Amino acid sequence: MMPELLRIGTRNSELARWQAMQVQELLARQGLKSVLVPVESLGDRDQHTPLYAMGVQGVFTRHLDQALLARDVDLAVHSLKDVPVQPANGICLAAVLPRGPVNDVLICRETAWLEDARAQATIATGSIRRRAAWLHRYPHHRVMDLRGNIPTRLRKFRESSWQGALFAQAALERLAISLQPDEKMISLPWIIPAPGQGAIAVAVREEDAELREFCAARLNDPHTALCVNMERAFLQAMEGGCSTPICAYARIEAALPAWESTEETFSVIFTAQVLSPDGSRKLDIELKKNLQSREIVSRADGLIEEIAREAAENLLSRGAKNLLRSSHHPSNPNPNL
Ligand SMILES: NCc1[nH]cc(CCC(=O)O)c1CC(=O)O
């Protein structure tokens, strides 16, 4: 039996509440009533310790896992990017919603410094992936640590003299952030996103079979699921956590059908990258597979395994582990590099 009123657990940030409301709206369209239940997370309580230094996975999701297991909530809504690849015991991801924008963006005031290859600049981000990618392209820039939720980070940028700050485009769009007249938003497609970036996930208790199946049938987007599950399988194969500069992005594009085929044909394009934390070195790979539309569901698991393993084996054989290990603390780069 499903409860009359579903309780949706969410972090209490503006972005988290917006995302939880999306799920609430989708449930309402299916005739299900729900309420939002805010649950504070470790990552929200401590907004100063850099994320990479917290040393635990799931700083944004653990308290919601606990609320699910304690039966204080029936569903939990997460930014998939923040969810550890290994789910907590008794909890499973039942659905991912259609993916939003995946890119990172730069918010800045004037841009002369970007066009001048030798200009000095200070850029702010709390993400070691964005830091590494930025420093790879602009090794002479300085990257500052910037923590907090989106409005806080934007405010800190506005009060600073930094040239720019990095954000997920999905987050800015969801909060309908309006830029000031002197501000610009520049899309950064050359930064490969984090696994799962731009996707919203719904977690439930494993034992709630009815709710789990309902979410899988009515809320889940199979295209998004194929892509993000591939990115996360790759992350797992690399044994990386949320605090390593591991990037992965899978997308599905319509491909021209083979002449004898009447079925729609797609390509899955998987791009991955690992960087040394100081940005001095990087390894890339791109893999592409064609598949028929029905295979997006029927062959999903096999394809995810196959591509994730091939990409991880390739990068690991080229020395990815050394590269990720080469400096542990961004502000204390290995002098040997
Ligand atoms: N770690 C925080 C977090 N988790 C998800 C998003 C943005 C939305 C998304 O990428 O899905 C953000 C903010 C950011 O990365 O700037």
Please give the pLDDT value at position 326: 67
Please give the pLDDT value at position 325: 76
With a pLDDT cut of 90, the percent of the chain lying above it is: 74
Residue type, 27: L
Choosing from 42, 197, 200, 244 the residue with most ligand 1 atoms within 8 A of its CB, the one to mutate for a pocket test is 197
pLDDT tens profile 240-276: 544 568 999 999 998 876 666 677 889 999 999 999 9
Claim to verify: residue 59 and residue 204 sit in the same structural domain:
yes
- Work out how many domains the chain is built from and give that number: 3
Please give the pLDDT value at position 2: 86
What is the overall mean pLDDT for the chain?
Answer: 90
In a domain, 305, yes or no: yes
Per-residue confidence at 337, pLDDT binned at 50, 70, 90?
very low
Q: What global pTM score does this model have?
A: 0.91
Q: Is the pLDDT of residue 284 over 50?
A: yes
Q: Rounded to the nearest 10 degrees, how much is the dihedral formed by the CA atoms of 283, 288, 289, 295?
A: 90
pLDDT tens profile 71-110: 999 999 999 999 999 999 999 999 999 999 999 999 999 9
For ligand 1, atom 11, name the residue with the nearest CA.
Answer: 198
Claim to verify: residue 72 and residue 118 sit in the same structural domain:
no
Claim to verify: residue 301 and residue 317 sit in the same structural domain:
yes
Residue 56 and residue 54: Cα distance in Å, rounded? 6
Please give the pLDDT value at position 262: 74
Please give the pLDDT value at position 296: 85
For ligand 1, atom 14, name the residue with the nearest CA.
Answer: 168
Please give the pLDDT value at position 240: 55
Please give the pLDDT value at position 263: 76
In a domain, 302, yes or no: yes
Claim to verify: residue 205 and residue 89 sit in the same structural domain:
yes
Q: Is the pLDDT of residue 177 over 60?
A: yes
Claim to verify: residue 10 and residue 145 sit in the same structural domain:
no
Strand partners of residue 272? 248, 285
**Which CATH number does the domain housing residue 259 bear?**
3.30.160.40
In a domain, 66, yes or no: yes
Please give the pLDDT value at position 46: 62
Q: Please, is 50 exposed, middle or buried when counting C-beta atoms within 10 Å of its C-beta (0-12, 13-18, 19+)?
A: middle
Q: Is the pLDDT of residue 202 over 90?
A: yes
The answer to whether the CB of 323 falls within 8 A of the CB of 281 is yes
Please give the pLDDT value at position 323: 83
Helices (H), the chain: 14-29, 42-45, 62-69, 112-115, 128-137, 150-158, 169-174, 209-218, 222-237, 295-298, 300-317, 320-325
Please give the pLDDT value at position 44: 61
* Cα of 82 from ligand 1 centre, angstroms: 7
* Cα of 17 from ligand 1 centre, angstroms: 13
Claim to verify: residue 231 and residue 321 sit in the same structural domain:
yes
Q: What is the mean pLDDT of residues 151-177?
A: 97
For every residue of 293-332, DSSP letters joined together read: TTHHHHTHHHHHHHHHHHHHHHHHHTTHHHHHHS-S-TTS
pLDDT tens profile 292-328: 888 888 888 999 999 999 999 999 999 998 887 765 4
* Cα of 321 from ligand 1 centre, angstroms: 25
Claim to verify: residue 83 and residue 172 sit in the same structural domain:
no
For ligand 1, atom 5, name the residue with the nearest CA.
Answer: 79
Claim to verify: residue 240 and residue 312 sit in the same structural domain:
yes
Instruction: Tell me which residues have their CB closer than 6 angstroms to ligand 1.
Output: 79, 81-82, 167-168, 170-171, 197-198
- The tokens of 93 are what? 């991801």
Q: Which atom of ligand 1 sits closest to the CA of residue 200? A: 11
Choosing from 11, 81, 156 the residue with most ligand 1 atoms within 8 A of its CB, the one to mutate for a pocket test is 81
With a pLDDT cut of 70, the percent of the chain lying above it is: 88
Question: Containing domain of residue 36, as a range?
Answer: 5-97+199-220
* Cα of 323 from ligand 1 centre, angstroms: 25
CA distances from 120 to 10, 113, 131 (A): 40, 7, 16
In a domain, 294, yes or no: yes
| Conformational region of residue 58, where left means phi above 0, alpha means psi within -120 to 50, and beta covers everything else | left
In a domain, 264, yes or no: yes
Which of the residue ranges 131-140, 188-197, 271-280, 327-336 would you say has the lowest mean pLDDT? Answer: 327-336
Please give the pLDDT value at position 18: 98
- The tokens of 22 are what? 């999306």
Q: Is the pLDDT of residue 179 over 90?
A: yes
Helices (H), 30-109: 42-45, 62-69
Q: Which helix (H) or strand (E) holds 9?
A: strand 5-10
Per-residue confidence at 335, pLDDT binned at 50, 70, 90?
very low
**Which CATH number does the domain housing residue 173 bear?**
3.40.190.10
Q: Is the pLDDT of residue 331 over 70?
A: no
* Cα of 197 from ligand 1 centre, angstroms: 7
Choosing from 14, 17, 44, 79 the residue with most ligand 1 atoms within 8 A of its CB, the one to mutate for a pocket test is 79
Residue 18 and residue 14: Cα distance in Å, rounded? 6
Q: What is the mean pLDDT of residues 51-67?
A: 76
